[in-house]
Chains A and B, each alone.
Chain A
Amino acid sequence: MTAVVRTEGLGRKYGRRWALRDCDLAIPAGRVVGLVGPNGAGKTTLLNMVVGQLAPSAGTIEVLGGRPASGPAQLAKVGFVAQDTPTYASLTVADHLRLGARLNPGWDAALARDRIERLGLDPARRAGRLSGGQRAQLALTLGIAKRPELLILDEPVAALDPLARREFLASLMEAVAEHSISVVLSSHLMSDLERVCDHLVVVVDSRVRVAGDVDDLLTAHHRLTGPRRDAARLPSGQHVVSASHTDRQSTFVVRTDGPIHDPAWTVGEVGLEDLVLAYMTPKTEDRPALEALR
């Protein structure tokens, strides 16, 4: 499978602080990738490097086989809907379509016109007077109608109400179904990501914690509940993602490739949201020891 985005040791520093570091990713083509993590974890930094908005401080990045934003041809292959879906407030909807047509050799005018029509946007209306949802849809139209192979969206629905959010994601998914583009979108609304994503990248504290196809992730992760036990005593093939203990009971979320045979455990499935949360909560390896002192 060819990778649409491949990074090795990718990092970006702001001053002395690493916004993202040691990032190794290989995102396969044809996926809708969800990029999740707490605010300030480095999601926007990663996306900005993918579109070439930002230059890396360390490591390499290859997008669709080229260096991000290295020239008009590369720019034409990648669409980007930036955070807060910026549009030119004083320009009309029609002006935006004209802008897209003039600045993109592969512009699909019919597609753009059709989308605007179906969305019920008045072409003569200034973008500054559109609602948040309409503005996001306009920005998405610009991103889709340039007919990219890869579309990047940075928190596109964060500021939208539930209805606008649903409509936005529906038209995004429609575009994916119609034009088979690969998509990477960041969000912290897990319910949305659960619907639309088939590949997940979790970024916490400037590092990629886990990445993979959603199905694979779900089958590889289990919730183990049983009598209290130390995390260190789990078999070597089971990587503890999160652990919590009460006086008598231990609950682990583990990642493992093989089946779990130990009859002492009640084995449960981990939903996508819980899985992400397990990676986001800081690992407290020393907590059992502390509790043992009591």
Chain B
Amino acid sequence: MIWLTLRQFRLQATVALATLVAVTALLALTRIDLVDDYADGIASCTATGGCERFKLQFFDDHQSWFTGLVTVVVGLPGLIGAFWGAPLITREIEAGTHRLAWNQSVSRSRWLAVKLGVIGLASMAAAGLAVAIATWWSDPLDKAGADRFPRLSPVMFDARGIAPIGYAAFAFALGVTAGVLIRRTLPAMAVTLAVFAGLQLAVPQYVRPNLITPVERTVTITPENMQGISLAETTLTVRARVDEPGAWVLSDYTVDASGRKVKSLPVSLAAGACAPPPPTTVPDGKESVDGSGRGPAEKCYAEIARLGYRQHVTYQPGDRFWPLQWAETGLFALLALGLSGFCFYWVRRRIS
């Protein structure tokens, strides 16, 4: 049965493998310069200073490759689900070959178990390899861009660590499930892609923040933790900076003296204590003042504090990257198992 499964999978596996080899070769070549440039740059900026600016510049120079790789890793599980998962059973049903297979001396359960097992493992391996290669190549850029794109941020989280392996297992099972339910390959592929994309958008929004109880802090706004202050129409809002590298800020809002959330600081502040220094005034009703450098004057913070406003921040600290990765991978693995179980039930009972 394993032989047949692999034989049927040969074309898809060849395509995947060829792509992998070509991309890896290309990446291996370009990585040499990438690593050298980064090492040189860091060496010289450590000597002369201005490393922040170098990192910014270095990251911007290679951003298109970087985002390209992230896109590939993020998109791969969906493609696996659509191109490996959905046709797995559907193609047999469409051609009637399941009747041929089921009447060899192999039970239907074993047939399905081998197919799901072998191709499922291949899916996970493919995703794992893709992550490993992308992470390896992007290493200098991950370092350079750590501030702007911390690995806990929604998209980066999907493209690093072990979560993509869980996604691949899930997307594959999703594809197979859509296939046995819909019984037509193309619609099953479309449904797989749509459902998986929906989940990829929903999970960082609603599920991931709560996999581990986030840290909550209520802090006084100071020049050190002020990220920005902005005035739009009739609302004056402040954003705070979390003092931990790589943290994923989930919410950040102002509370008044009684601890209630407020939508806006008193707008009068904008004209009074927190009025911006004259040169940056732009008369269009909306302006932003950089928290660093020439920020609002001391008296602004004093005034905010005097009024009792404080900043409430919830976040996942940067060092929770791996616990969150494990939790999410586990979650998707469970979902994949659940879908596989459903496929067993459905194929044994409902398909003939």
Within 8 Å by CB, do A and B touch in the complex? yes
Give chain A's interface residues, CB within 8 Å of chain B.
48, 51, 53-55, 69, 71-73, 75-76, 78-80, 82-84, 86-91, 95, 98-100, 102-106, 139, 142-143, 146
- Cβ-defined contact, A82 with B105, below 8 A: no
| Among A75, A79, A106, residue most surrounded by chain B Cβ atoms (within 10 Å) | A75
Q: Which residues of the partner chain B approach A80 to less than 8 Å between Cβ atoms?
A: 99, 103
Main secondary structure of the interface of B (DSSP, over half): helix
Is B105 touching A105 in the complex (CB atoms < 8 A)?
yes
Contact A104 B104 (CB under 8 A): yes
Partner of A139 from B7, B95, B100, B108 at Cβ < 8 Å: B100
Query: Could you give 5 example pairs across A and B, Cβ below 8 Å?
Result: A72-B106, A89-B95, A99-B3, A102-B3, A103-B105
Q: Is B15 an interface residue when CB atoms closer than 8 A count as contact?
A: no
7 other A-B residue contacts (CB within 8 Å) besides A95-B7, A103-B106, A104-B104 = A80-B99, A82-B96, A87-B97, A88-B8, A90-B11, A98-B3, A100-B104
For the complex of A and B, list the 9 residue pairs with the smallest distance between their C-beta atoms, beginning with the closest.
A103-B104, A86-B96, A82-B99, A76-B105, A80-B103, A54-B352, A104-B105, A75-B105, A86-B97
Q: Taking beta carbons and an 8 Å cutoff, which residues of B are in contact with A?
A: 1, 3-4, 7-8, 11, 95-97, 99-108, 110, 349, 352
Q: How far is the CB of B350 from chain A (nearest CB, A)?
A: 10
Cβ contacts under 8 Å, A143 to chain B: 103
In the complex, the answer to whether A48 meets B352 with C-beta atoms within 8 Å is yes
Q: A83 vs B95: C-alpha distance in the bound complex, in angstroms?
A: 11
Q: Whole-angstrom distance between the alpha carbons of A171 and B57 in the complex? A: 76
| Other-chain contact of A102, B1, B97, B103, B107 (Cβ < 8 Å) | B1
Min C-beta distance of A156 to chain B, whole Å: 13
Within 8 Å CB of B102, what residues of A? 53, 69
In the complex, A54 Cα to B99 Cα: how many Å?
Answer: 11
Residue in A closest to B98 when the chains form the complex, CB atoms: A86
B97 CB contact (under 8 Å) in A75, A78, A88: A88
Kindly provide the distance from the CB of A276 to the nearest chain B CB, expressed in whole angstroms.
27
Task: From known contacts A90-B11, A102-B3, A103-B4, infer whether A83 and B105 are also in contact, taking CB-CB under 8 Å.
Answer: no
What's the nearest-Cβ distance from chain A to residue B235, in Å? 59
Closest to A49 in B: B352
Which listed residue, A53, A75, A87, touches B106 by the CB 8 Å rule?
A: A75
Chain A neighbourhood of B100, CB < 8 A: 82, 86-88, 139, 142
Which residues of the other chain, A, contact B7 by a CB distance below 8 angstroms? 91, 95, 99
- Beyond A53-B102, A69-B102, A91-B7, is A75–B107 a contact (Cβ under 8 Å)? yes
Among A73, A79, A90, A105, point to the contact of B103 (Cβ < 8 A): A79
Q: Which residues of B contact A69 (CB under 8 A)?
A: 102, 107-108
Q: Could you say which residues of chain B place their CB within 8 Å of the CB of A78?
A: 103
B116 to chain A, nearest CB (A): 17
- Contacting residues, chain A, for B97 (C-beta < 8 A): 86-88
Kindly list chain B residues whose C-beta atoms are within 8 Å of the C-beta of A146. 104-105
CB distance from A77 to the nearest CB of B (A): 9
B103 touches A82 (CB 8 A): yes
Q: How far is B8's CA from A71's CA once the two chains are assembled, in angstroms? A: 24
A144 to chain B, nearest CB (A): 12
Enumerate chain B residues within 8 angstroms of A142, measured Cβ to Cβ. 100, 104
* Complex contact B96–A83 (CB within 8 A): yes
Q: How far is the CA of A75 from the CA of B107 in the complex (A)?
A: 8
* A120–B93 alpha-carbon span in the complex (Å): 29
Contact of A55 with B349 in the complex, beta carbons under 8 Å: yes
CB-CB under 8 A from B3, the residues of chain A are 98-99, 102
Contacts of B95 in A (CB 8 A): 86, 88-89
CA distance A83 to B106 in the complex (A): 20
Nearest Cβ in chain B — how far from A185, in angstroms? 15
- Please name all residues of chain A whose beta carbon is closer than 8 Å to the beta carbon of B4 when the two chains form the complex: 99, 102-103
